[in-house]
Amino acid sequence: MRASFEALARHNVELVRASGAHTVVTPCAECARTWKLDYEAFFGGSAPKVQHLTELLAERMEDLDLHANGVERATFQDPCRLGRHLGVYDAPRQVLTAVPGLELAEMPRHGRRGACCAGGTWSNCDRFAKQIQVARLREARATGAEVLVTACPKCQIHFRCAMKDPNLESEIEIEMRDVAEVVASALA
């Protein structure tokens, strides 16, 4: 397993080197974590700057011509890889609150105290993980938000899976969007 990871890391690092890129930007929290923490050693001291898309957007919000996009109230799910692993909590919130007309309604457990979506590994979606997901979806719904926004594909997959439970569907159903989708829909 480790040999496969190292081979893939070397391959990916070489692709970035060959491109001449000085910055790697990704919309995926797990990819940002992998590039920043796991691949750094493979660059041999010359790693590019790695940013999650929300970090880049937060830096460049004044360059964007944003308009109301119909989302009036949203809540944000802090991805574990972006928050706990990389310490990125403010950038997604800065991006969301820059969208005109959008109110960010925080769940009780957010930021450094944020709760996981229970999808840290693909192989661990059992009844305990489902209980965590349902509890988190209830927290999101309790904010009065119409949209649950995240910056992690895994969070979206696991929450959408939990919402398909026929016994709970209407109780925990909430629209899900990625931060990038929210911003894109607000562009002029």
Q: What is the pLDDT of residues 23-47, one digit of tens each?
A: 999 999 999 999 999 998 898 888 8
Say how far apart CA 74 and CA 96 lie, in whole Å: 8
Q: How confident is the model at residue 179 (pLDDT cuts 50, 70, 90)?
A: very high
Torsions phi, psi for 50 (to 5 deg): -115, 130
Task: Tell me the pLDDT tens digit for each residue of 76-97.
Answer: 999 999 999 999 999 999 999 9
Locate 65 and state its tokens. Answer: 């011509």
Instruction: Please work out, in degrees rounded to the nearest 5, the angle formed at the alpha carbon of residue 184 by the alpha carbons of 77 and 52.
Output: 50
pTM: 0.91
Q: Higher pLDDT residue, 4 or 171? A: 4
Which of 19-23, 44-48, 98-102, 115-119 shows the lowest mean pLDDT across its residues? 115-119
pLDDT at 161: 86
